[in-house]
Amino acid sequence: MPRNHTALGLAGLSALVLAACSSSDSGTNPPPDGGPDTTPSAISVGSGNNQTAEAGSELPEQLAALVTNSAGSALSGVTVAWSVGAGAGSLGAATSSTNAQGLATNTYTLGSEVGANQVRAAVQGTNLSTTFSATATAPPDTVAATIAITGGNGQSAIVGENLEDPLTVVVENADGEPLAAKAVGWSVTEGDGTLLQAEGVTNLGGVASNFYTVGSSVGAESIEVVVTGNPDVTTVFTANATAPPATAEVSVQDNFFDEDNVVIAAGGTVTWTWAGSNQHNVTWVSDGLPDSPTQVAGTHSVTFNTPGTYVYYCSIHGSSTSGMRGTIVVK
């Protein structure tokens, strides 16, 4: 009898334990259909988008990405991975976790170049992502406020010839300080002249320069210079293309001609006048033009009816390529 009572007691105790365990499981682990949805369904910009700050500085507001489930409820404890797109800036952390409001935050320092920056935030292990945009601006003391002409304005040259002096500008900030390494663009806005270069960069003194050849038609010409990226910071040069003269004078000095490069109109006449103390002559490379006698004093004149370039020299002190020589350009 004692053995049977013991067996019955153990069996009953086992049954009670099993019942208790069964009752406990059903109370603490509700069916999946009845529990909260913890699966991320979307990530979006919470705050901190479209900020603007100086290049190389940290954005004043943190970037905050919001993670939600399919019902639009915020999810906490979700890992968000951050990466830099455009702009070459830097993030405070590679990953961060969402808080009770579903927000994962991070800091961002803009890249060193002026322009657009982008940061991507993605739910780790998924294809869910969103993008933040920011703009890096130049520090105030490097922003071009003015561009002013310092040389070369108002010149004249015979059609198709170079202006004697370069066109020169200086770029300054609002405090009147010259700005180095500023790109400037050059363009012809009136006339058909040509510039040596379409773009340039200011030197340490804020100065940029260019060379200009006037066009083929007589009249006024204009050249605009603008600071690249600042279309309102601009200035305009004027120039004048003139007709070639009908006459020209060349002085024959000892061992050189003055002027040695003459431009004249077709049908015009050039006169050489001997002014030195040695014997010289005018000898033409091209056939058909009259050479001068070798002399110490006197004059020699030639009329040019056909456009072209004519080279001459002194046969005593020069040659067709070096020494005492000159050029006549007929237009």
What are the pLDDT digits (tens) for 4-13? Answer: 443 334 333 3
Contact yes or no for 225/201 (Cβ under 8 A): no
Does the pLDDT value for residue 315 go beyond 60? yes
> What is the CA 211 to chain-centroid distance, rounded?
21
Tokens of 203: 């030197």
Segment 281-300 shows an average pLDDT of 95
* pLDDT tens for each residue of 158-206: 999 999 999 999 999 999 999 999 999 999 999 999 999 999 999 999 9
Tokens of 30: 């509700």
Q: Which of 143, 135, 65, 71 is nearest to 98 (CA)?
A: 65
Tokens of 175: 């405090």
Segment 85-94 shows an average pLDDT of 92
Structural domains of the chain, ranges and CATH numbers in brackets: 42-137 (2.60.40.10), 142-242 (2.60.40.10), 247-330 (2.60.40.420)
The string of DSSP codes covering 32-53 is GGGS---S--EEEEEE-TTEEE
If one counts every other C-beta atom within 10 angstroms of the C-beta of residue 158, the result is: 18
Segment 2-28 shows an average pLDDT of 36
What's the pLDDT score for residue 16?
31
Does the pLDDT value for residue 27 go beyond 90? no
What's the pLDDT score for residue 142?
84
The string of DSSP codes covering 294-327 is PBSS-EEEEEE-S-EEEEEEEEEEE-SSSEEEEE
The confidence band for 143, taking pLDDT boundaries of 50, 70 and 90, is confident
| pTM of model > 0.75 | no
Mean pLDDT of the chain: 89
What's the pLDDT score for residue 34?
59
Q: Say what percent of the chain tops pLDDT 70.
A: 89
CA pair distance 64, 44, nearest whole angstrom: 9
* pLDDT tens for each residue of 252-269: 999 999 999 999 999 999
Find where tokens 């009329």 sit. Answer: 303
What's the pLDDT score for residue 11?
39
pLDDT higher for 45 or 13? 45
The confidence band for 26, taking pLDDT boundaries of 50, 70 and 90, is very low
190 preceded by cis ω (within 30°)?
A: no
What's the pLDDT score for residue 161?
95
CA separation (Å) from 27 to 22, 23, 73, 202? Answer: 9, 7, 25, 78
Find where tokens 């979700």 sit. Answer: 78
SS3 145: coil
Segment 242-248 shows an average pLDDT of 96
The confidence band for 138, taking pLDDT boundaries of 50, 70 and 90, is confident
CA pair distance 268, 329, nearest whole angstrom: 11
Ramachandran region of residue 51, left (φ > 0), alpha (ψ -120 to 50) or beta?
beta
